[in-house]
């Protein structure tokens, strides 16, 4: 009689290597070296009185909050950091994607991940702005992942 089973060690290794489990951190608001560059969270603030392109208020449920993160990035044009994914993390460990569909009509800065802005400087640091929606919950920081860096991820916290 033969039996076939799942190799749990191999399964764990695959899960671990494809999941952000190892934080690369710095002091709040300080630079974090990651993915051929460095980044830091300049600010993480709640956005109130959100409007659309015509200046009219954006109607969102009272049970949600809108957050804006301004992240400074210093990386060469060909850095693997360009292919990043940015998520907001709350105090429970839940994460929220940047630029959610619910804000499609809102007058917010466009979000292109960690790409250098087309109208920005060709070298040196630049900033990106990411906007998020969460339920009414305290937020903790920003998680930046790059597929080629997993399981490592950059953990950014706002200045104290």
Per-residue pLDDT of 38-88, as tens digits, reads 999 999 999 999 999 999 999 999 999 999 999 999 999 889 999 999 999
Q: How confident is the model at residue 15 (pLDDT cuts 50, 70, 90)?
A: very low
DSSP state of 103: G
135 has pLDDT over 70? yes
H or E element, residue 10:
helix 8-17
What does the pLDDT read at residue 160?
86
Rounded Cα distance between 146 and 81, Å, is 6
At which residue do the structure tokens 């998520």 appear? 87
Taking CA 141 as the corner, what is the angle to CA 17 and CA 48, rounded to the nearest 5 degrees?
135
What does the pLDDT read at residue 120?
75
Q: How confident is the model at residue 13 (pLDDT cuts 50, 70, 90)?
A: low
- What is the three-class DSSP state of 80? helix
pLDDT in tens, 98-130: 999 999 999 999 899 999 988 877 889 999 999
Rounded Cα distance between 66 and 49, Å, is 10
What does the pLDDT read at residue 118?
83
List the one residue out of 71, 92, 46 whose CA is nearest residue 142.
71
List the one residue out of 114, 109, 84 whose CA is nearest residue 99.
109
**Backbone dihedral region of 63: left (phi > 0), alpha (psi from -120 to 50 degrees) or beta?**
alpha
134 has pLDDT over 60? yes
Q: What average pLDDT score do residues 6-17 get?
A: 53
16 has pLDDT over 60? no
Contacts of residue 114, defined as CB under 8 A and 6 or more positions apart, other chains included, come to 39, 71, 73, 75, 81, 82, 83, 84, 86, 128, 144
What is the model's pTM? Answer: 0.87
């Amino acid at each position: 009689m033969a039996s076939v089973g799942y190799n749990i060690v191999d399964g764990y290794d695959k899960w671990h290597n494809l999941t952000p489990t190892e934080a690369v951190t710095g002091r709040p608001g300080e630079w974090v070296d990651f993915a051929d560059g460095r980044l830091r969270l300049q600010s993480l603030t709640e956005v109130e009185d959100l409007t659309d392109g015509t200046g009219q208020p954006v109607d969102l449920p009272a049970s949600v909050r809108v957050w804006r993160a301004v992240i400074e990035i210093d990386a060469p044009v060909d850095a693997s950091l360009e292919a990043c994914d940015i998520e907001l993390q709350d105090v429970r460990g839940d994460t929220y994607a940047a630029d959610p569909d619910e804000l499609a009509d809102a007058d917010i800065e466009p979000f292109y991940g960690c790409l250098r802005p087309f109208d920005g400087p060709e070298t040196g640091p630049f900033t990106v702005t990411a906007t998020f929606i969460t339920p009414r919950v305290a937020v903790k920081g920003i998680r930046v992942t790059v597929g080629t860096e997993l399981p490592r991820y950059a953990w950014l916290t706002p200045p104290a």
